[in-house]
Amino acid sequence: MVEKDVIVNSDAGIHARPAMMIVREAMKYPCDVMLIKDSVEADAKSIMSVLGLAIISGSKLTIRAHGEGETELVDYLINLIEKDFRV
Amino acid sequence: MRKLTVRYFIEGEGRIDLQLRLFAGAGGLDKEIKYGEINRPGLALAGFFDYFAYDRIQIFGQGETAFMNQLSCEQKMKTYSDFFSYDLLCCIFTHDYVPDKLFLEFAEKKNVPIFLSKRGTTRFITLFVHVIDEIFAEQVTLHATLVDVFGVGVLLTGKSGVGKSETALELIERGHRLVADDMVIVKKIDESLLMGAGSEILKHHIEIRGIGIVNVREIFGIRSVRNRKRIEMVILLEEWDSAKEYDRLGLDDKKYSILDIEVPYITVPVRPGRNIPIIIETAALNQRLKKIGINSARELDEKIKKWIMTEGQK
């Protein structure tokens, strides 16, 4: 299991399009991956789940993956969020 | 869990309205409600402050107000200053009783919110405890879809992409009602009651691969949705695995544990061409039969056993 924290800095938070970028990448990997905000867990492979977290600018997010490709995926997602979805 | 403040009693989205009127002490609205408990302050007003639960919600009924009424001005001064020397959370007066001026002055000065309720004390407390229990209920967010199928709250779980949302859509089309898709907030209201609802923002939206996000309430109308539903069974959808043994009899009841409550649980293997919604409808109806004490599988088993016993003797 790999777990890393990231602070979301995008002004608009994670709205529909960024959520889609996360889900699209997560779907490429066979591992289970969760986004955790304020101890609420969301499946990173589900758009509705990610949107439901209501991630705003400044939110602290934990990304936790378990299974094949976990390290790669977590690193990719952290990079995606840190680079403000301009990858 | 999010912090709950006294402000919740008068404002906030998605709250249960207790029909309270703020009368004084607005400065204390941001005090945190730490315990979901109430206190009748009769003893404290009479001067007995041992075990005074000042950090609970104080409820003034007819007894308390009658007591306050018969106090002389000097007595009031003494009683109220003792009473307000504690860091009170808030006071609620039932029967729309407006406390005297001195009491309100103390409340303003000490920033203790004073609310009035039209209801009688017992009725108010019943309602209030119900609401407070729900707010303080243990909760968990599940990646699942909740649908009311023939009145049975069915929680569909399974890996992303297995077809939970598509199944929900088909069930809606068949006249069942969607509670939440992909994210269900489950609250343990009581030792045997799990209540599921969707998140406020996502409410009744569903994501279908190929179409995107759609609003079920707008497309299918108000009859296709409901806001909350008791969870009565869990159905796990999973890709058909030919190496796995699936339940062919239904003689053994399996349970799925959510917040330490056991919920009846079945696994439905998904394969192209398999009509999942009709299987879920049947499972829901079967669950209803089981609830009233009819277990088809067990009854057939009994019948066969009896037949074997009698025929075998011939």
- The pLDDT tens digits of the residues spanning B263-272 come to 999 999 998 8
pTM of the model: 0.78
Minimal C-alpha gap between A51 and chain B (Å): 7
Residue B1 has pLDDT above 60, yes or no: no
Q: For residue B25, is pLDDT > 80?
A: yes
More confident residue, B262 or B131: B262
Residues of A in contact with B182 (CB under 8 A): 43, 46-49, 52
3-state SS, residue B109: helix
pLDDT band at B132 (very low <50, low <70, confident <90, very high): confident
Query: Residue A36 pLDDT more than 90?
Result: yes
Note whether B210 contacts A: Cβ–Cβ < 8 A: no
Size of interface A-B (CB pairs under 8 A): 44
Of the partner residues B161, B182, B206, the one whose CB lies closest to the CB of residue A49: B182
The pairing of strands B114-117 and B145-149 is: unpaired
Whether A15 is catalytic is: yes
Q: Which has more pLDDT, B273 or A32? A: A32
Interface check for B218 against chain A (CB to CB < 8 A): the answer is no
Q: Chain B residue closest to A39 (CA)?
A: B1
Strands (E), B34-144: 38-39, 57-60, 90-93, 114-117, 138-142
Is residue B164 flagged as an active site residue?
A: yes
What domains sit in chain A, N to C, each tagged with a CATH number? 2-82 (3.30.1340.10)
ipTM higher than the 0.85 cut: no
What chain B holds in terms of domains, given with CATH numbers, is: 6-135 (3.40.1390.20), 138-300 (3.40.50.300)
Model confidence pLDDT, tens digit, residues B169-202: 999 999 999 999 999 999 998 888 999 999 888 8
**In this model, does residue B310 exceed pLDDT 90?**
no
State the average pLDDT over residues A29-49. Answer: 90
Q: Do residues B149 and B234 make contact, with C-beta atoms less than 8 angstroms apart?
A: no
In this structure, are strands B233-239 and B145-149 parallel, antiparallel, or unpaired?
unpaired
Residue B248 annotated in active site: yes
The pLDDT-based confidence of B311 (bands split at 50, 70, 90) is confident
**Do B213 and A47 count as a contact with CB atoms less than 8 A apart?**
yes
Q: Are B107 and B20 in contact (CB under 8 A)?
A: no
Most confidently modeled range among B12-21, B55-64, B123-132: B55-64
Beginning with the edge strand found earlier in the chain, give each strand of the sheet holding B261-270 in spatial order: B177-180, B145-149, B152-157, B233-239, B261-270, B254-258
